[in-house]
Structure 1
Amino acid sequence: MNELAWHRYGPEPSDGAPPLVLLHGFPLDSRMWAYTISAAPQLPVITIDAPGFGASPPVDGGLDAYADAVAATLEHAGMARAVVAGLSMGGYAALELAQRHPHLLAGIGLLDTKAGADPQDKRVDRLQMAEDALGEAGARAVAPMLDSLLAPGAPEAVRTEVAGWLRHASPSGIAWAQRAMAARADRLATLTRLDVPALVLRGAQDATASLAEHEEMATALGTQVIEVDGAGHLSALESPHEVAAALSDLYARATA
């Protein structure tokens, strides 16, 4: 079973409590959580790099293989349960964990993501980007994403940082992720069967995942959507203190 690269921050979980596991968005790696982690130093955090991103090896398969690899990584590290929060593609992986490994989840956070499958035109766009990334364009295939990832008023330092990450994204990782996301199943029904503390959060200026899509997930989980003013799709980068506060609340509820 594939294992993925993981990184520990903050204190060790106390009295056998689960860690907070953070899964990053596409086409970034775990560095995108740095500001949020700094804003919540009391949390026992594990970040995991997605297959083909950061220090993680690729996997054979799609989001199912990603979720299985997350489960195997946590098991190997001696973690029987975790509070798992994912942003964007990381949210898709969290949804797949809820489907395939519900016993692992002590709580779930879904940030700037959606439970529904892609419509056909979006699938076509994803598959085209995969082809472009493996061709002459390479990482330049994701450069146009910058404006859709960030709110119009995002700090220039954040825009510069994200643009740099896009330039250095792995072409093979881009292709794998886009094909995996294009093939994902609708997981809304999975959430109705999940009985754990939950967080559904959205940057109020997210141009990629709508409020209605977040409300669907929140309704299925029996919670309310938290909207973060001034943030776009990468809310954890744009509004780290607000996201850290929401994650801290989720963790407190999941370990009460």
Structure 2
Amino acid sequence: MPLVLLHAFPLSSAMWLAQREALAGECRVITPDLRGFGGSRLGDEDPSVDAMADDVARLLDDEGVERAVVGGLSMGGYVTMALCRRHPDRLMGAIFADTKASADTEAARANRERIAAAVLNGGAGVLLDDVLPTLIGTTTKQRRGMVVGRVRGLVQAAPPGAVAWAQRAMAGRPDSFETLRALDVPVLVVVGDEDELSPPSDAEAMAQAVPEAKLAVIEKAGHLSAIEQPEAFNAVVAEFVRSLR
């Protein structure tokens, strides 16, 4: 059974290292780089989560995969929702981790544009000053120095063009609650109990919108639950994948 995992902003597929290792015995794990991040091209299309979702559908074609379990964390979750909207026939299950179904508020959109403009003007420091601290939970900041260093490195590696494009794509994404209500595949919603960007209340709202959804709260994890608490994250994902067999 193929499992596609879509990474968070502004990281790359490298964030899934622990998942690739731990879940390889359960399923075929596919971890693409979303446009412009890691090893992928940005291209010249207008920013949209739909374009990223279409990329994932093309990747499935290239890999000879008809249907897969598709999961995404944060931005990867937005892309997964776009995939549910545009290519519902490609999913046999969906995982939404540390993400939300609501569209951005005006303030959130303005903040994304501020960060996009700053990064394009050479102010890569805005990612470390404004974005990095929100990605990891209190427990990780206090006790997991190695994890903080690793996330910092991934953030620093993000190409400015991809950062700005992705921010604008996320700012323009629609509300996805109708998409969730229309799903007819099993869904796993995962959230770190210390996630401040998309808190447990967002995860609960998503789980309630889906006819068949399971909610898993990862303790002592912030927004990057898969990196902060990989063993707990991998356990709930493995259980979910097994339940689909």
Shorter-normalised TM range: over 0.9
**Contact 2:23–2:29 (CA<8 Å) still a contact in 1?**
no
**Contact 1:37–1:244 (CA<8 Å) still a contact in 2?**
no
Q: Which moved more, 1:117-126 or 1:67-76?
A: 67-76
Match runs of 1:172-191 below 5 Å: 172-191=161-180
**Contact 1:198–1:223 (CA<8 Å) still a contact in 2?**
yes
- Structure-1 separation of matches of 2:36 and 2:228: 25
What is the aligned-residue identity percentage?
A: 41
Structure 1 match to 2:128: 143
- Structure-1 separation of matches of 2:83 and 2:119: 27
Q: Is 1:40 equivalent to 2:23 in the alignment?
A: yes
Match runs of 1:1-256 below 5 Å: 18-42=1-25, 43-59=27-43, 60-61=45-46, 62-137=48-123, 139-144=124-129, 145-154=131-140, 155-221=144-210, 222-254=212-244, 256=245
Deviation at 1:162, TM superposition (A): 0.9
**Contact 1:84–1:108 (CA<8 Å) still a contact in 2?**
yes
- Structure-2 separation of matches of 1:114 and 1:39: 26
- 1:155-198 deviation line (CA, Å, top 9, x unaligned): 10010111112122100010000000000000111011111111
**Contact 1:200–1:225 (CA<8 Å) still a contact in 2?**
yes
Q: Secondary structure at the match of 1:48?
A: coil
- 1:62-93 deviation line (CA, Å, top 9, x unaligned): 11111011101111221111100100000000
Give unmatched runs, 5+ long, in structure 1.
1-17
- Structure-1 separation of matches of 2:34 and 2:152: 19
Amino acid at match of 2:126: A
* Structure with the higher fraction of residues in helix conformation: 2
Give unmatched runs, 5+ long, in structure 2.
none
Q: TM-score, normalised by structure 1?
A: 0.90
- Structure-2 separation of matches of 1:20 and 1:223: 17
Amino acid at match of 2:65: M
**Contact 1:197–1:253 (CA<8 Å) still a contact in 2?**
no
**Contact 1:126–1:179 (CA<8 Å) still a contact in 2?**
yes
Q: Secondary structure at the match of 2:138?
A: coil
Q: TM-score, normalised by structure 2?
A: 0.94
Amino acid at match of 2:88: P
CA RMSD across the alignment: 1.1
Deviation at 1:146, TM superposition (A): 1.9
Deviation at 1:38, TM superposition (A): 2.3
**Contact 1:133–1:141 (CA<8 Å) still a contact in 2?**
yes
- Structure-2 separation of matches of 1:232 and 1:129: 21
